[in-house]
Each structure stands twice: as structure tokens, then as C-alpha cells.
Amino acid sequence: MKPYKHKVQYYETDQMGIVHHSNYIRWFEEARTDYMEQMGLGYDQMEEKGILSPVLSVEADYLRMVHFGETVTIETFVKEYNGIKLTVGYEVISDKTQMVHCRGITRHCFINREGKPLALKQTCLEFHNMFVKGLEDHKNK
């Protein structure tokens, strides 16, 4: 899997040129979307099958500042998956320092268009297997 790269834009920073904390959450989503596409099945394909995956919660630990003009690499991985809920992990690594500047997770569930919970193993084995493989890949690192 190729990690997601992001160059910090001016509008993402405050008056001191430091990335505003809210942008990390956006970067998590960008990286998660890219990760799923690289795994072979993106959100667009999931939604075509009538499966939605809302965010239940987000956590971010801000360890170091990132500044305007820097490029970060966002390592994305399946941290937990049980067929009904998914936890995706993120590490935002500065290309300049090679240090982790932020760690985070997003928690998701799966629902149909009517908002009823779904078990992917029963609803769409293709997506279920993709997340199981992602979890196994992460555990074997």
C-alpha cells in the first residue's frame, strides 16, 4: 500500500503558519478514501451497493506542529474490524522530520440507506474480506 501524501496549504494554517487542528480530521478522511481505493473497493462502490459507513467517533493526538508548505505522509491502517464496526488508524508523519506529528483513529459502522445496521459478512462479502485482509496486514507488520 502506498501511503497518502498531503502538502499543507495556506488556508489550512492559522496566523502563525501552523496547521489548524481541524484539518487533521479532513486529512484522515482523504487518507481513508485513498486507502480503500488502493485496497480495491472505494466508498463509491460501497454506496452503489447501498452500504453507508458513517463516522461514529474521531480521536486525534497532536504530538508536534506541522507548518505551511510542509508535506506529510499519512499511514492508514485497519486497527479493528468485527464485521459490524470498523476502526481505522492514522499516523501523520512529516516528510521533513520523519517523525509522527499526529496519531488518530476514526470509528465507523455500516448501515443501509434506511439507517439500519448491517453486518458486512452477510451483506457484502467482498467488503468484509477487504477489511479482514486490511486487519491481518496491519497485525502482521
What pLDDT does 14 receive? 95
Tell me whether residue 44 is one of the annotated catalytic residues: no
Which one of 14, 44, 61, 95 is the catalytic residue?
14
What pLDDT does 1 receive? 86
Angle 82-88-93 (CA atoms, 0-180°, nearest 5)?
A: 155
What pLDDT does 136 receive? 95
Distance of CA 69 to the CA centre of its chain: 22
Give the predicted TM-score (pTM) of the model.
0.94
Q: What's the average pLDDT block by block, 10 residues per block, for the chain (141 residues)?
A: 96 96 97 96 93 97 97 98 97 97 98 96 93 94 78
In the chain the domains, ranked by start, together with CATH numbers, are 4-139 (3.10.129.10)
Distance CA 129, CA 98 (A): 32
Q: With beta carbons less than 8 A apart as the criterion, state whether 88 and 58 touch.
A: no
Q: Positive or negative, the Cα torsion across 122, 124, 75, 12?
A: negative
What pLDDT does 141 receive? 78
What pLDDT does 77 receive? 97
What pLDDT does 52 receive? 96
